[in-house]
Amino acid sequence: MIDRDKLAKVLARLGSGHDPEVVAAARLACGMLNKAGIGWDSICAAADPAAEEAVHALLVEVEILGEQKKELEGELARLKAKGPAAQLKTREEWLVLCRQHWQTLTPFEVNFLQTVARWRGPLTAKQEPIWQRITDKVGRL
């Protein structure tokens, strides 16, 4: 036997604007039904037609949200794999990223970046490998 009051409270969470809560509620509701050994058809058969239609619409929405969640997780994984450094092109853009991660840099690296920030010409042959080492380090963060 299923606790219908508890199921009703769980199903009410399907209307949340917070997608992870909706998915969690749907999973919890399905788990409650599985544990009780009944299917959605049993629950819907006892409901009025409007409630049955609402349950169906919510289940469709949960399925769509689940698919969207998977797509967004995939996109997030791709973006994380690229990292913010993949989109940086100019020295100024790199300096902004380095400033955001200054606490991971050594005092020498911070001083070097301050010098490079004031440097208007191309980097020298001596500066280039230091710049590359720092940007590689920050780009991995």
pLDDT of residue 85: 58
Q: Can you give the residue ranges of every domain in the chain?
A: 4-82, 84-139
Q: For the beta carbon of residue 3, count every other beta carbon within 10 angstroms.
A: 11
Structure tokens at 104: 């991971």
Query: Are 2 and 32 contacting, i.e. CB atoms less than 8 angstroms apart?
Result: yes
Cα gap 88→104, rounded to integer Å: 19
* Chain position carrying tokens 């050594």: 106
Query: Are 2 and 38 contacting, i.e. CB atoms less than 8 angstroms apart?
Result: yes
84-97 pLDDT tens trace: 556 667 888 889 98
pLDDT of residue 46: 60
Q: Is pTM beyond 0.75 here?
A: no
